[in-house]
Amino acid sequence: MFPAEDLLDCGEDVLLRGVGVVAGGAEQPLTGFAVHIKGQVVVLTLQSTVNRDHTMQRMEVLTVQAQSLDTRETVQDLRPACTLLTALHITLATLTIMKRRNVSGSKPPAKQISVQTQLDLNAPKPAPQPVHPQGHFPRDQVHIACWNLNGLRAAINKDPFAQFIKRLDLEVLGLNETKLQDGNIADIKRLLMPYFKFQYYACSQKKKGYSGVGILSKIKPLDVIMGLGDGELDVEGRVITAEFEHFRVVVVYIPSAGMGLKRLQWKVRKWNVAFHRFITGLMRRGKPVIILGDMNVVHRDLDICTKDRYLRDIPATTLEEKNSFTSLLGDQLVDTYRSLHPDGNDYSWYKTDVEFQRTQGWRLDYALVSASFLPRVIDSFMHDQVRASDHMPIEVVVENASDS
């Protein structure tokens, strides 16, 4: 991989995050490595992916820090580091400057450069993904998932999320509570582009680090609708719709009733009513709908663990929210999980790690379909062991066909 004389174990004076490094074709329990170049020590923090035969598949460079060989102080001249990265054929995805906290009382360190990127060590580069007709899925079955990540920028650095989006069979992924701003989207798209070529995001314009939804797809949709068409409600970035050949996918993050139920009446009398009207309008256009997302309600007793079934006065448990959800379903929409698993007691949200270990959760995330499309639904389930936030991903598998 690299000349052995260029690899040095990092000393104790170099602070690195825990990683795994592959060297010499086998995984080594190192915390990182440093390369001595032109009077500087360039410290790389790595994360590697290994094939089953222990050969290296890919290595991610998480951080790059250049230090003076004499003083061990961080230096701002990154030219040697960039020279190294260029020699290794590493493409810089993002380059940000962060201030390090001075905890020792000594001379404040210089700025630290953090680089997040990916290195593919298996040349030549993989062949480009095949191009399919717009809106058309190539397989007989379509896997569509949705995940409330409680912050996409935090989740993107977690292994469960990284492994989930690398699935070859996952065609569409909806995202809830991305907490992105418009200024974050270009960087996020660049990082996720190897897995989902077509990405659409709706961000909260109301406040930072709040709400937000996204649709990631390997197939270009025929059309994309942002929001409900209501300027007052759409400022929170809660709905995106993508149209494909045989159906429309709606990703929604329904508002919570809020602490002290402050938003309960607004939710059930205004937001939910507008969403119901929007879905009815979509269905009148002729294609069935598949609706996925965190709907912030426990509709039936089976959707909440036994110890919490007495709750009636906190968000997601009120009678008003349950009745509003029942009204949304009506006779036109079906809760796919409950239809296929009438006695199922799987949950998609856990308040704490302890409750997760005890399987004491709530089902807040749903996959709904047009009633006429239900025969095309093959399965609907929760990935109850995939954790990158307090929510688990949900998934629906459907036939690649219309409802007729």
- Annotated catalytic residues are 253, 391
What is the 8-class DSSP label of residue 272? Answer: H
Give the length of the chain: 404
Transcribe 11-22 into DSSP letters. Answer: -TTS------EE
Q: Are 34 and 65 a contacting pair, CB within 8 Å?
A: no
Transcribe 267-298 into DSSP letters. Answer: IIIIIHHHHHHHHHHHHTTSS-EEEEEE----
3-state class percentages of the chain: helix first, strand second, coil last, to nearest 5: 25, 30, 45
Q: CA–CA separation, 104 vs 13, rounded Å?
A: 13
Is the torsion defined by CA of 295, 299, 305, 309 positive or negative? positive
Summary count for the chain: helices (H), strands (E)? 10, 19
272-283 vs 319-329: helix crossing angle, rounded to 10? 10
Residue 363's SS3 state is: coil
Phi, psi for 109 (deg, rounded to 5): -70, 160
